[in-house]
């Protein structure tokens, strides 16, 4: 069974683009794949990524996660299997690193449980995740005081504390320097190869995409124009966008 199945996805008409942002998207993604979404600005990459976690309403089509069709009723269950890295990290800057990571557990707790604070096992897990990502000495530091690369690692830990099977990353290295970008991509690669986590990420750098991803999906005008290996990605990208 396919892990992710998208059938005829179409979003609302965008007047600025003179078309739907997503326009008849069909694709399947298997468990354990590392997939990169590529395309020019406005192609629909981030919209497609966000649709996989129910953040974008569809006017047509179906999404199935583990064979379960995404509906308002099934969405809470589906979201428990998906971790999301938002562009820029999406952290609460006035909170510490560990507090941000623990926010990843809020969807699994009732309102009453939240008022009681987080159980010790969650706090221990948050510390372990931050330690594994090289942030053991930054656990109680406010995220506003961390570098961009450190903040993105906190965001990764926040996603991982959900124990997801799928990790969606929307431009996870935007604004980072070369070293920090490589560190973040290496972490994602290790999560994929060592833990079998399915990774789907939006990137703009073709070199990094070719280095880390196994499969590239190129979008143009809301449609899939290339879906295949990352070999000769620069040539493939130029060809499909010049058609």
pLDDT value of position 172: 93
- In terms of Cα–Cα distance, which of 87, 78, 19, 21 is closest to 48? 21
Residue with token string 């124009």: 225
Residue 127: both structure tokens together: 């510390």
| Range of weakest confidence among 3-7, 31-35, 64-68, 106-110 | 106-110
Q: Give, rounded to a whole angstrom, the gap between the first and last alpha carbons of the chain.
A: 34
pLDDT at residue 239 above 90? Answer: no
Asked whether residue 149 is domain-assigned, the answer is: no
Asked whether residue 30 is domain-assigned, the answer is: yes
Asked whether residue 216 is domain-assigned, the answer is: yes
State the Cα angle at 88 between 85 and 91, rounded to 5°.
Answer: 75
pLDDT value of position 105: 82
**Domain CATH for 171:** 3.40.50.300
Which one has a higher pLDDT value, 67 or 236? 67
3-state secondary structure of 211: helix
- The Cα–Cα gap between 188 and 186 comes to 5
pLDDT value of position 216: 95
Which one has a higher pLDDT value, 157 or 233? 157
Q: Is the dihedral of CA 23, 75, 37, 193 positive or negative?
A: negative
Confidence band, pLDDT 50/70/90 cuts, at residue 17: confident
Domain that holds residue 168: 2-91+164-236
pLDDT at residue 115 above 90? Answer: no
Asked whether residue 124 is domain-assigned, the answer is: no
Mean pLDDT of the chain: 89
Asked whether residue 116 is domain-assigned, the answer is: no
pLDDT at residue 110 above 50? Answer: no
Give 116's contacts (C-beta < 8 A, 6+ positions apart): none
Residue with token string 């468990």: 31
Give 93's contacts (C-beta < 8 A, 6+ positions apart): 142, 143, 144
Question: Nearest 10 degrees: CA dihedral of 54, 57, 61, 63?
Answer: 0
pLDDT value of position 75: 94
Asked whether residue 172 is domain-assigned, the answer is: yes
pLDDT at residue 43 above 80? Answer: yes
Question: Nearest 10 degrees: CA dihedral of 84, 42, 2, 225?
Answer: -150
pLDDT at residue 116 above 60? Answer: no
Domain total for the chain? Answer: 1
Tell me how far apart the 2 most distant CA atoms of the chain are, in Å.
58
Element (H, E) at 4: strand 4-10
User: Around 175, how many Cα atoms within 13 Å sit in the side-chain half-sphere?
Assistant: 13
pLDDT at residue 112 above 50? Answer: no
* pLDDT tens digits for range 76-87: 999 989 999 988
Which one has a higher pLDDT value, 236 or 47? 47
Asked whether residue 19 is domain-assigned, the answer is: yes
* pLDDT tens digits for range 142-187: 999 999 999 999 999 999 998 899 999 999 998 889 999 999 999 9
pLDDT value of position 90: 82
pLDDT at residue 89 above 90? Answer: no
User: Around 44, how many Cα atoms within 13 Å sit in the side-chain half-sphere?
Assistant: 27
- The Cα–Cα gap between 242 and 225 comes to 11
Element (H, E) at 207: helix 206-212
From the CA atom positions of the chain, what is the Rg in Å?
A: 18
Asked whether residue 135 is domain-assigned, the answer is: no
pTM: 0.90
């Amino acid at each position: 069974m396919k892990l992710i199945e998208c059938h005829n996805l179409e979003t609302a008409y965008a007047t600025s683009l003179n078309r739907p942002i997503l326009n008849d998207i069909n694709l399947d993604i298997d468990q354990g794949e590392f997939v990169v979404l590529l395309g020019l600005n406005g192609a629909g990459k981030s919209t497609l990524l966000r649709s996989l976690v129910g953040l974008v309403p569809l006017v047509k089509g179906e999404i199935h996660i583990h064979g379960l069709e995404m509906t308002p009723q099934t969405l809470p269950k589906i979201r428990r299997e998906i971790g999301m890295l938002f562009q820029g990290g999406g952290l609460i800057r006035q909170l510490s690193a560990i507090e941000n990571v623990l926010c990843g557990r809020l969807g699994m707790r009732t309102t009453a449980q939240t008022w009681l604070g987080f159980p010790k096992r969650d706090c221990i897990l948050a510390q372990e995740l931050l330690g594994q990502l090289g942030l053991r000495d930054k656990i109680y530091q406010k995220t506003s005081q961390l570098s961009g690369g450190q903040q993105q690692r906190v965001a990764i830990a926040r996603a991982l504390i959900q124990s997801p099977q799928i990790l969606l990353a929307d431009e996870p290295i935007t604004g980072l320097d070369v070293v920090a970008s490589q560190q973040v991509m290496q972490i994602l690669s290790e999560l994929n190869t060592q833990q079998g986590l399915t990774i789907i990420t939006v990137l703009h750098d073709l070199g990094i995409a070719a280095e880390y991803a196994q499969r590239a999906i190129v979008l143009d005008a809301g449609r899939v124009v290339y879906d295949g290996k990352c070999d000769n990605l620069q040539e493939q990208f130029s060809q499909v966008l010049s058609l």
